Amino acid sequence: MDVLIDNRQDKIDIEVDIEEIVQKVCKECLIYENKSLNYEISISFVDNKEIKRLNGIYRGKDKPTDVLSFPMEDDDDTNNFEEKILLGDIVISAEKAMEQSKEYGHSFIREVAYLTAHSMFHLMGYDHMTEKEKQIMRQKEKDIMKKIKIFKNN
């Protein structure tokens, strides 16, 4: 599994422990869904201005959001194992993650881990447009957070 991390902002420090937890979350999400680890995932940290621009372009919403997911069209898990399968791109607003960690009373690491899990499930085809879909996705996210031992008070 390759997790390519690109820090394109300078408002919030993205330290090694953040990079490690993001990689761990990606791995646990793939294992949870019984996927191979033969994937490449790109994760970019941006500021609110950049995520607002992307949110406007791709979702038609003129406001910053916490995370955006860009799944690749083909997540066929049966290709040649010499090549990594491109699962997709995750874009996290480091600023928004920090704001939300303070609002919810937990750590920045916990917020980034949760947003990563949330996006990973989007990359694997899950959504939360209906209440039933939302419940399924939330349970998966909770299970991952338990698996990596990061809880709301962390």
Q: Given 3.20.20.70, 3.40.390.30, 3.40.50.720, 3.40.50.300, which CATH number is that of 2-147?
A: 3.40.390.30
Nearest to 106, CA basis, from 117, 114, 118, 94: 114
pLDDT at 73: 61
pTM over 0.85: yes
| Whole-angstrom distance, CA of residue 154 vs CA of residue 141 | 15
Nearest to 87, CA basis, from 41, 122, 22, 31: 41
Q: Are 69 and 123 contacting, i.e. CB atoms less than 8 angstroms apart?
A: yes
Query: From start to end of 32-96, where are the E strands?
Result: 39-46, 67-71, 85-93
Return the structure tokens found at 123.
Answer: 């990359």
pLDDT at 84: 87
| Ramachandran bin of 88, using left for φ above 0, alpha for ψ from -120 to 50, beta for the remaining angles | left
- Domain limits, the chain: 2-147
Task: Answer yes or no: is 106 a known binding residue.
Answer: no
pLDDT at 75: 47
Task: Answer yes or no: is 128 a known binding residue.
Answer: yes
Distance from chain centroid for Cα 127: 13
pLDDT along the chain (154 residues), means of 10: 97 95 98 96 98 97 97 62 86 98 95 98 95 97 96 65
Q: Are 136 and 147 contacting, i.e. CB atoms less than 8 angstroms apart?
A: no
Nearest to 140, CA basis, from 154, 102, 122: 122
